[in-house]
Chains A and B, each alone.
Chain A
Amino acid sequence: MQTQEAQRKVAIIVSKGGLDEVYPALILGNAARMSGIEAVLFFTFYGLDAVTDKKVDHLHVNLVGNPASPIPTMIGGLPGMENLAASMMKKQMEDLDLPGVREMMEMLTDAGAELYGCQLAMDMMKIDQKDLIPQVADVITAGDFYEMADGAQIIFT
């Protein structure tokens, strides 16, 4: 480790708030830290749900407009279906000993990843930083994000 290696870095943009859409980003971020890669996660638009204190434990699975969904779109649009699918998926994740989204956020920051909220999206959705989970380090603009992502590989989810 004494040799000077180029420090790898990933910057992950989370723009969607479905359970199935947030997890890959969190897993990628965590895997980066486990592999000794620096990680920055930037939550914007519906991705903000994943770091909003009131919503983080109630993320749903996107069933409509999702051809890979096991439930037909017509049925998936019925009330309560997303809840049902989300609870099914959460159960499967528990069986695999996957931590919940909130715990993943804690793991990420403990592991040294940095979480940021998007200023513009929060203004639009009328969310304040105090509504976010404490793991979010700061609320930043897209320009700030690019500065932080300097030298990083950027992943958009």
Chain B
Amino acid sequence: MNAPLDHNATVESRIEALSDKVDLLLDRQRAMSELVSESGPILTAMMDAGTRGLGEWEERGYFAFGRSTLRLLDRVATSYSSEDVDELGDAVVGILDTVRNLTQSDVLNVANEATDVLHRADALDPVGVVGAIRKSKDEDIQRGLAVMLEVLRTVGKAAQSDSGATPGQRRLASRLAPSGRRAARPVTRSAPRRRPAARSASPAAAGGAPKQAQGGLARWACVTIPGHALDSGGFLVDPQTWNREFAVLMAAEAGIGELTDEHWQVVDAMRAHYLSVGASPNVRKLANLSGLGTKAIYQLFKKAPGSTAARVAGVPKPVGCI
């Protein structure tokens, strides 16, 4: 008889536990419905206000503005490349700076008074060269001239500095630079519009010093001969460290190939002169000292014989025009 009793007790305890949970659920349900009923009017009011607000925006033309802005953006996107926009991004900071400076009240006052003059332009008498000179006695005009000259100077200076930070500044510089400087820049592109890709492809050209000969000289900065320190022009730093092995290696670097007896004759004459006089002989002296003559020197050490022979002989670059 014990078993059914036990069973009843278990069922009862379960029902008790269930009813607790049902109570909890009911509480929550009640809370939810209260929340909905209370928040309903608030939400309705909010929607009302929102719609009214949007209506007002529409009336004020915000959306029309937005729509035309989108159309504008669309046009910008189709007619400009992303590189252009990147470039613009750089410029925006500069534009903001400029606008802030321009809108200082004293600057605006000056601009305002200047426009006043334009309104009264009809009343002014025409002025010739003599009149301009006479008017230049006026202190205000003198001050104005000084300001304008200073502005011109600044513009000129900005246009001249090739080291301008942004590509735009560099481009401006290249366009405004005196024609000689412009001619010195290498004309590598035939395309009328300079694309940013082309600019970044030739950073050396943008950095200035676009010398044609540099390719030949710059090569020497990369040449090394083990155990011997060379300067950027390929000359031995310490002539005392020279030896015949160095001469052979350097001759190979200079494109001479095998050193013949005549080559050694020139190299020895060059070293002897340097060690006794303390200066490298120029080509003319070298031609006489070696007893070979100018023609032979140019044939033995092709292309810049003075420098080439000096590199092989481990002496400094000869100085002088002859």
> Measuring CB to CB, which residues of chain A are less than 8 angstroms from any residue of chain B?
1-3, 5-6, 8, 27, 30-31, 33-37, 97-99, 106-107, 110-112
Contact = CB atoms under 8 A, between A and B. Distances in A.
Nearest to A4: B215
Interface residues of B, number: 23
Interface in B180-238: 212-213, 215-216, 219
B298 A110 contact: yes
Closest 9 CB pairs of A and B: A1-B255, A36-B303, A110-B294, A36-B304, A110-B295, A27-B321, A111-B298, A35-B304, A31-B321
B322 A2 contact: no
A6 B212 contact: yes
A35 B213 contact: yes
B255 A111 contact: no
Interface centre among A27, A30, A36, A37, by most chain B C-beta atoms within 10 angstroms, is A36
B216 A30 contact: no
Interface in B292-315: 293-295, 298, 302-307
Interface string B279-294: 0001110010000011
Given A1-B254, A5-B216, A27-B322, A111 B304 contact: no
Contacts of A1: 254-255, 302-303
B293 A110 contact: yes
Contacts of A110: 287, 293-295, 298
Contacts of B213: 8, 35, 37
Nearest to B256: A1
Contact of B294 (A2, A27, A98, A111): A111
Contacts of B294: 106-107, 110-111
A33 to B, nearest CB: 7
Interface centre among A8, A34, A98, by most chain B C-beta atoms within 10 angstroms, is A34
Interface centre among B302, B304, B321, by most chain A C-beta atoms within 10 angstroms, is B321
A107 B212 CA distance: 26
Given A35-B213, A35-B304, A111-B294, A99 B322 contact: yes
A3 B219 contact: yes
Nearest to B301: A36
